Amino acid sequence: MYFAALLARTEDGWEASDTELDDVETLSDLADLAREASPDEDTVLVLIEQEGAWFGVVRVDGEDDPRIYVSDASAAARSSYGELLLTDELLGREPGDGAPDLDALDLDGTEDGEPEDDADAAEPPAAAESTVPHGPVGDAEILEDLGVSEKELRSLTEDALTEIAEALGASETLETVR
């Protein structure tokens, strides 16, 4: 089960809205969605969690590049929403590292479930997940100026988004969209 919400900082405090991520395919799409939530180019936080497995925070400040923090990269890598956040740059890879080279794949018909005749066939390319570290990745200081230190962020667990919202003074606001 996933939960995703936008928290936009305004002159009057934080405004929350739940968000549907089904049409979001890239981090750029997600950043654009966040920017739409704040016409004044104020800070917008995209909060995403998968029950007890991982959470992510994407911070968009105006037209600046999004800043990202993911609590458990290996758990997020097994999630379509997590894959949005785990960019090559965030994982310290060159673009394309860890992804199978389509020109090198042997598409001999066995991909349809037919058994291979050659028992000595090469192993399939390593999955991209193997290059994803266990544990947190990204900018752990993402919420430092908003009252959540790096140490606090790294120690959050089960109810991380609620704890973040409490630290921001936005817990009631976030609960309205939960």
* pLDDT confidence band for 158 (50 / 70 / 90): confident
3-state secondary structure of 159: coil
Per DSSP, helices labelled H in the chain are 27-36, 73-76, 80-85, 88-91, 150-155, 160-168, 171-175
Mean pLDDT of 9-35: 90
Cα(176)–Cα(15) distance, integer angstroms: 10
Cα(116)–Cα(67) distance, integer angstroms: 45
pTM comes to 0.79
Per-residue pLDDT tens digits for 105-114: 444 444 444 4
Query: pLDDT at residue 89 above 80?
Result: yes
